[in-house]
Structure 1
Amino acid sequence: MNHIITGQDAHGNDIKLDYIDHGQGKPVVLIHGWPATYKMWEYQLTALTEQGFRVVAYTRRGFGNSSKPFEGHDYDTYADDLKAILDQLDLQDVTLVGFSMGGGEVARYMGRHGGARVSRVAFVSAVTPFLLKTADNPEGVDRETFDKMVDGLEDDRFDFLQSFGKNFYGVGLLRNPVSEAALEWTQHMCEIADPRATILSVRAWSETDFRQDLTTIQVPTLVIHGGDDALVPPKVSGERMTHFVPHAEFIEYAGAPHGLFIPEKERLNRDLITFVHGGDIQKTADRY
């Protein structure tokens, strides 16, 4: 198991992030969603590596097999952890790919660290630009929605995660985009997160305003969002991204759920590969 030390906690203990580093070539860094680990990228890791890229994926603090410090569950710290990954592995000409909560890391890194070492960014089902409904963000989601999530986690985290997994993949009475085994795998991956980090990160990704961070992005930008995303609705997130990153290319996967990296894996892999190579994603999208 590989770890990168990104700092120390209040007691002087090293904060270690679990990561993998596969392949050679232009680097692609994959940043996972809430409350999973880098293992959610299973199908993308293989596809990107086989296309001749160096693929790095890590698990953020508080989740999976990474350290679980009491503090540091905010986007400034998450962005600093990402910087430590890029610096210590000396990655250059990087494509950052952030899924859901991970899109926030991409945005805050670009704003906080000036996009150092990064040549392209992709947001997949991302929480950007700003989820919370406020006076200056009337398109957002009511705070009550996130309060209910926290209540559910505090009451019975395991039952909450079971229901969350079904919504995550868009599973319903007449629709089963993923297998029961995939649901069980996802739940186990999410259960090993630190309970406190799980809750604090809900507040982080729901309340952090990334709008200013996004305006700093000058590199090629791809935005992918599922049309049937019930957790991070495209009207609140993906569809608004070009307001803040005018040059971004927005692709909606019609009928796709939030967790599209499994049910839409072939298309997502193809689009990411095309994007990293600098190709035209729309030509790929037109085939669907």
Structure 2
Amino acid sequence: MSEKRQRSNVEIARPGFIASGDGVELFYRDWRPEAARSNGRIIVFVPSYSLPGDMWAYQMLPLTRQGFRCVAYDRRGHGRSSDPGGGYDYDTLADDLAAVIEALDLSDVTLVGYSMGGAEAVRYLTRHGSARVARLALIASTLPMLARTSDNPDGVDPAYADAFQKDLMTDYPQWLAGNARPFAGPGASEAMIEWIREMALRTSHHALFACNETVNRGDFRNELRDIDVPTLIVQGDRDVSNPLELTSERTARLIPNARLVVYEGAPHGVFLSDAARLTTDIGAFASAS
């Protein structure tokens, strides 16, 4: 898999934006350390469902200060990227990630994906290969498969997805108001929770609905066996969105060279609830030889 390379026709469209293969403009941020501080390591962050790359600020800033070059981008339909009204399947989303990596000509990357972003990172590796990626970190990911089916009987009841999609159609702000605190954990300030809600409310409704359908259909049980880079898996044991035993524990058993780290008492939003610890763990992992 490491030699596989599928190049898209990508370019820097204008300052701060990369044009994907199908013409979607992806907003990105590229934070570089001072030359004297640089350790030459690159970390690429893939954001959560419903959130832009800004969500990684409390990891990117300290890591940049430690000498890492940190790159994050907004998924199509999220943040400042284009809202094309389509292309929310995992293959296209993985191609968008490839566009970012190729346009910036990044290599020896530590690829960090959170929640849905973890699945996009895996699809990038199985679709484009690991020639540019040295390590993979999966944070509270939706992998390997969330939906309940006949061959995945412990999966999430489809009624839960149906109820969420109804909320998207009727009163998404109210759904966010009721779920932001469990997501962020009891230690998060009201101001921090409001910041998360504001970012989520700026996401295209079409993207929210289509990406939710993509997550619900996702099945990476066979794909994970093909990952050929060292993998760090992090999740809280109080994650009600992606239960630990359904997701990260199974993922760790499927990826050949994976290490699972469980944060006791942490919710789904570990990038907020355990920001300093997660930053330390990502930095140490990205520094490994």
Normalised to the residue count of structure 2, the TM-score between the two structures is: 0.90
Distance in 1 (CA, whole Å) between partners of 2:218 and 2:63 is 30
Question: Kindly, what percent of the aligned residue pairs are identical?
Answer: 41
Alignment match, 1:21: 30
Conserved in 2, the CA contact under 8 Å of 1:30 and 1:55?
yes
DSSP 3-state at the match of 1:261: helix
Alignment match, 1:3: 17
Alignment match, 2:142: 127
Q: Which whole-Å deviations, capped at 9, do the CAs of 1:177-231 have from their partners, x for residues lacking one? A: 2011011111110011110110111111122111222111111100000010011
Conserved in 1, the CA contact under 8 Å of 2:227 and 2:256?
no
> Which residue of 247, 250, 254 corresponds with 1:240?
250
1:45 aligns with 2:72: no
> Which residue of 69, 72, 83 corresponds with 2:98?
83
Conserved in 2, the CA contact under 8 Å of 1:38 and 1:58?
yes
CA shift for structure 1 position 71? 1.0
Conserved in 1, the CA contact under 8 Å of 2:228 and 2:256?
no
DSSP 3-state at the match of 1:240: helix
Distance in 2 (CA, whole Å) between partners of 1:219 and 1:203 is 28
Conserved in 1, the CA contact under 8 Å of 2:41 and 2:287?
no
Conserved in 2, the CA contact under 8 Å of 1:111 and 1:212?
no
DSSP 3-state at the match of 1:211: coil
CA shift for structure 1 position 15? 0.9
CA RMSD of aligned residues (A): 1.2
CA shift for structure 1 position 113? 1.3
DSSP 3-state at the match of 1:164: helix
> Which residue of 155, 160, 163 corresponds with 1:145?
160
CA shift for structure 1 position 246? 3.2
Q: Which whole-Å deviations, capped at 9, do the CAs of 1:239-267 have from their partners, x for residues lacking one? A: 11122113200000000000011120111
DSSP 3-state at the match of 1:135: coil
CA shift for structure 1 position 115? 2.2
> Which residue of 213, 216, 219 corresponds with 2:226?
216
CA shift for structure 1 position 143? 1.2
Count, aligned residues: 269
Normalised to the residue count of structure 1, the TM-score between the two structures is: 0.90
Alignment match, 1:264: 274
Unmatched 5+ residue regions in structure 2? 1-14, 33-37
Unmatched 5+ residue regions in structure 1? 9-13, 171-175, 280-288
Alignment match, 1:231: 241
> Runs in 1 of length 4+ with deviation above 2 angstroms?
none
Distance in 2 (CA, whole Å) between partners of 1:187 and 1:123 is 23
CA shift for structure 1 position 168? 1.2
